[in-house]
Structure 1
Amino acid sequence: MPRPRLLAPSRILRSTPRQIGGGRSREALVRRARESIEKGSKSFAMASRLFDRHTREKAWLLYAWCRRCDDIADGQDHGGELKLDEADAKDRIEAIRVLTRRALDGQPTAELAFDALGQVAMEAGLTQDMTDDVIEGFALDAAGWRPRSELDMMRYCYHVAGAVGVMMAQVMGVPADDQDTLDRACDLGLAFQLNNIARDVWEDDAAGRCYLPMEWLVEADIPPGQHMKPQYRGKLVELVARMVGMAEQHEAAARLGAARLGFRQRWAILSAANIYGAIGREVRARGAAAWDHRVHISKTAKLRHVARAFREALRKPPEPEQMPRWTRGEILVAVRMAGPVAPIPMTPLPDDF
């Protein structure tokens, strides 16, 4: 019987060649990434301008990927109104995973933000474990997950911001084996996200989400899903003040790590810390009126925070009064325990004879 003919001769079949950045020029990736950060986050855009050019461009490339993943997961365009569709939520997360892995493998993705990730990953030594940790935060949201305990909340904060802080530290040149500085970078991300949760309690509730630990709500005698009701506003203010206090501890710890960076990097990081810290402190200061209007920091106030960061970058940071309760190591244990069981290695046993 004659052998069936292949659709194409095997000698002309070729695997797709590796093309870092999806075959796009670095200049084009940087230009579009800059447009993304200027549209999506004026605070980060302002702070990033303080970096040296090469660090600034890598930060933009990383931001573009984070922003695009967030938009795909939530059906948004650079933030704005959530357009959640639970029917295809898992498909959207799987698409993020596939495109991310292709980018890290040096394959074109037809998505500029993912091609940008491939470029910055090659330049800064970012790994799939790092991106998987970030994507898991989007997967938790897609599954309608809510934190039961304080540790659960911190695990979520790690996925969506602490892990990004670690990646950002490597973008700035922190060695992968400098674990203490990476811990401090994680602290900054955790501080950012805790402040974000405090600010966005009303918006999250409107979207059917809640990132306040259930145990906190039980302790405050607030029924599940009722924390935005007027009769519980006083207790909610206390819980959010507790959260902002945690953010301040992580922020103070992060300043220790910032002191090990070059001056321009230190200035940029302290500027971002000041701006995001101001958000949480403003939420706390407004008390029961914190969610009547969304807290934002004016451009003039941001410039003041940048100027203050310049002075802070010139001197040694003060020692924190108290280090944060949750460390990166403890959170990572919870992250790995919550993840899938690692496959059993199938390597043969050594021959004793």
Structure 2
Amino acid sequence: MSELDAAGITDPALREAYTTCRALNAAHGRTYFLATRLLAPAQRPAIHALYGFARMADDVVDDPDADASPTAVAARLEEVRARMRRGLDGTDPRTLVAEGEPVVAALADTVARHGIEHRHLEDFMDSMAMDLTVTDYPTFDDLARYVHGSAAVIGLQVLPVLGTVGPREEAEPYAADLGVAFQVTNFLRDVGEDLDRGRVYLPHAELAAFGVDRDLLTWCRARGHTDARVRRALAHLVARTRAVYRRADQGIALLHPVSRPCVRTARVLYGGILDEIVAADYDVLRRRVAVGNGRRAAVALPHLARAVGTRWRRRVVA
């Protein structure tokens, strides 16, 4: 496989591990996977590994067995954390694959290859654990700890793979902001599905300013009707999220040129979800909006051409 060859991944067990992660990304992370195709082949396996692990942990929380008690789900999540730590502590990847841990093996190899800080993985697991006990957030300040671990650290994990043109520390705040913008976009798109799971991520204070609370959201969800107060609250939150995107946009120029088309594409596609929410007149409690395949292609193809051109020019100069 050319991506694995380009990344210098030659061990058969590791190749199997990364291939598993790639399949997870392709099956479940359509927007991320499309954007990943714009990276240099050598970068892609690491992104697949990071996505694969995040997906594995997230599935424990969001898709538990029907008869699993909260205690059992919490124990299973802590088991994932223990398996993660074992991998990060240097367990031979071949051993991990043989034990049925291909995702952890690929994650551990990626973290070691790119010097990703272990605390970012720990913070991520902390946020996953919060989903088991926290169902509401009074303010954005209260939500901040959750989105740091569930979103900002994803940007910080990916940044060493993407590379920067200057000190990594200068790009880190923007990478974190972009992760947060992606996450809040998900909250706005998935407010109905999250409500079904008993969670409201949109801060109470922001909703209450427009006369919205959990009871009204539940009423709208049950009747397939979006109240005017909910529309106004969502419009406010969309505008607020767009401001976070604008702040994050400043960091794209700090990335390695080869990585910029990928990040721009992910940013435009995720920003497009906000556009779809507005176009649907904020009717997110009845259905799940999505960016259509035609728009995905229209966004991705120009960036693909630029990405290929950038890689080609750098090979010629080299």
Q: Highest relative contact order (Cα 8 Å, sep 6+), 1 or 2?
A: 2
Tell me, yes or no, if the aligned pair for 2:191 and 2:284 is still in contact at 8 Å: no
Paired residue for 2:217?
227
Paired residue for 2:15?
27
Pair 1:298 & 2:286 matched: no
Paired residue for 1:104?
88
Tell me, yes or no, if the aligned pair for 2:226 and 2:285 is still in contact at 8 Å: no
Alpha-carbon separation, structure 2, partners of 1:213 and 1:51: 35
Alpha-carbon separation, structure 2, partners of 1:292 and 1:232: 8
Matched residues, number: 289
Paired residue for 1:190?
180
Please list every run of 5 or more consecutive structure 2 residues that lacks an aligned counterpart in the other structure.
1-8, 308-318
Tell me, yes or no, if the aligned pair for 2:190 and 2:284 is still in contact at 8 Å: no
Alpha-carbon separation, structure 2, partners of 1:310 and 1:75: 34
Tell me, yes or no, if the aligned pair for 2:88 and 2:108 is still in contact at 8 Å: yes
Alpha-carbon separation, structure 1, partners of 2:274 and 2:89: 39
Match of residue 287, structure 1, among 256, 281, 284 = 281
Tell me, yes or no, if the aligned pair for 1:47 and 1:269 is still in contact at 8 Å: yes
Paired residue for 2:72?
88
Q: What TM-score comes out, normalization by structure 2 length?
A: 0.82
Q: Which of the pair is proportionally richer in helix?
A: 2
CA drift of 1:175 comes to 9.0
CA drift of 1:232 comes to 6.8
Looking at CA atoms only, which structure, 1 or 2, has the larger radius of gyration?
A: 1
**Structure 1, residues 320-348: CA drift from partner, whole Å, max 9, x if none?**
xxxxxxxxxxxxxxxxxxxxxxxxxxxxx
Please list every run of 5 or more consecutive structure 1 residues that lacks an aligned counterpart in the other structure.
1-20, 314-353
Look up the equivalent residue of 2:58 and give its one-letter code: D
Identify the range of structure 1 (280-289 vs 131-140) with the bigger mean alpha-carbon deviation.
280-289
Q: SS at 1:158's partner residue?
A: helix
Between the aligned residues of both structures, percent identity stands at: 24
Identify the range of structure 1 (154-163 vs 302-311) with the bigger mean alpha-carbon deviation.
302-311
CA drift of 1:162 comes to 1.2
Match of residue 57, structure 2, among 42, 48, 69 = 69
CA drift of 1:284 comes to 2.3
Alpha-carbon separation, structure 1, partners of 2:110 and 2:190: 30
Q: Cα RMSD between the aligned structures? A: 2.7
Tell me, yes or no, if the aligned pair for 1:147 and 1:211 is still in contact at 8 Å: yes
Q: What TM-score comes out, normalization by structure 1 length?
A: 0.75
Match of residue 124, structure 2, among 123, 126, 134 = 134
Q: SS at 2:290's partner residue?
A: coil
Tell me, yes or no, if the aligned pair for 1:274 and 1:309 is still in contact at 8 Å: no
